[in-house]
Amino acid sequence: MTLPSQPALGASVSIRDVSKSYVAGRPVLRGLSLEIAAGECVALLGASGSGKSTLMRLLPGFMAADAGSGPIAIGGAPIQSDGKVVSEVRVRRAEIGCIFQQFNLVGQLDVLTNVLIGLLARVPTWRSAFRRFSDQEVEVARDALAAVGLADFADRRASTLSGGQQQRVAIARCLVQQARVILADEPIASLDPESARNVMEILARIHREHGVTVVVSLHQVAYARRYCQRVVALRNGDVVHDGRANDLSAATLRDLYGTAVDELLAAPEDFAPIP
């Protein structure tokens, strides 16, 4: 068993009329709808507080939307609807790889084990507790580490890796999980520009080579434009732009974001300036 050489088919993501309030009567998302086709790479752009993480938590059913909200489905299968997460959500999540800003690895465990954890998404909980991994599975995990340029790091404790390396381990885990959708919530927000580019390039490559659907939230427009074909821009929980990344000019952004635009335009010097 090696990494699937045939492109795994990405799964679609569908959100219909979804609202979310943390405080009653003060919705953070208001009737948001979004259709993402299988195999798309979509940047979710928005200043801090615009609702990116809220949406990223709703998609895998980590939390429920408000009652009255429409369905959220991944690959056509429901995750939640009307404020209730479906009971078989764990099965659904096997197809969803999640990457977070704060490197969600188990720091005390070695890198290889952190990647192998991706396999546990596909076995029942009662079996995963005392799971031994087969030689074949270990080989798959090593291949995944090689694919993200970390072949030599398998035995290192995860906590000793740099932030960029930890994010690459998280991507390797999505690979062994054979995720059909990767949800990455500000995966580069805590990284230096070089590591950030490296992580985005690997995400983009996985998307290209495996056909995985990628939804990545970013708060810098330069990365969104460079790595994603489609940009969905949120402002105060509303979709204010949904289209080709190249159509987002600095003027459009100023229009959409007003004074909050500086945060979105900040970019490393070696990125092409935004016209």
Residues that bind ligand ADP (CB under 6 A): 22, 28, 46, 48-54
Name which of Mg ion, ligand ADP, none residue 12 binds, using a CB cut-off of 5 to 8 Å depending on partner kind.
none
Place of tokens 């209730």: 84
Q: How far is the CB of 43 from ligand ADP (least distance, A)?
A: 13
- Show the tokens assigned to 232: 């969905």
Cα-atom radius of gyration of the chain, to the nearest Å? 18
Q: How far is the CB of 232 from ligand ADP (least distance, A)?
A: 12
Nearer to Mg ion, 53 or 165 (CB): 53
Nearer to ligand ADP, 154 or 231 (CB): 231
Q: How far is the CB of 51 from ligand ADP (least distance, A)?
A: 4
Name which of ligand ADP, Mg ion, none residue 49 binds, using a CB cut-off of 5 to 8 Å depending on partner kind.
ligand ADP
Nearer to ligand ADP, 52 or 168 (CB): 52
Q: x-or-dash pattern for Mg ion, window 45-74, by CB under 5 A? A: -------xx---------------------
Report the alpha-carbon distance of residue 125 to residue 117 in Å, rounded.
12
Name which of ligand ADP, Mg ion, none residue 22 binds, using a CB cut-off of 5 to 8 Å depending on partner kind.
ligand ADP
Nearer to ligand ADP, 112 or 216 (CB): 216
- 220 binds Mg ion per the rule CB under 5 A: no
Nearer to Mg ion, 53 or 213 (CB): 53
Name which of ligand ADP, Mg ion, none residue 28 binds, using a CB cut-off of 5 to 8 Å depending on partner kind.
ligand ADP
Give the total of residues touching Mg ion (CB under 5 A).
Answer: 2
Nearer to Mg ion, 53 or 80 (CB): 53
DSSP string, the chain: --S-SSPPPP--EEEEEEEEEEETTEEEEEEEEEEE-TT-EEEEE--TTSSHHHHHHHTTTSS---TT---EEETTEEEEETTEE-TTHHHHHTTEEEE-TT--S-TTSBHHHHHHHHHHTTS-HHHHTT----HHHHHHHHHHHHHTT-GGGTTSBGGGS-HHHHHHHHHHHHHHHT-SEEEEESTTTTS-HHHHHHHHHHHHHHHHHH--EEEEEES-HHHHHHH-SEEEEEETTEEEEEEEGGG--HHHHHHHHGGGHHHHH---TTSPPP-
Name which of Mg ion, ligand ADP, none residue 213 binds, using a CB cut-off of 5 to 8 Å depending on partner kind.
none
Q: How far is the CB of 27 from ligand ADP (least distance, A)?
A: 9
Report the alpha-carbon distance of residue 146 to residue 153 in Å, rounded.
9
From the list 44-52, 158-166, 172-180, 234-242, the region that binds Mg ion by CB under 5 A is: 44-52
Q: How far is the CB of 241 from ligand ADP (least distance, A)?
A: 15
Nearer to ligand ADP, 58 or 105 (CB): 58
Q: What Cα–Cα distance (Å) separates residue 115 from each residue in 22, 145, 154?
A: 33, 8, 9
Interface contacts to Mg ion, rule CB under 5 A: 52-53
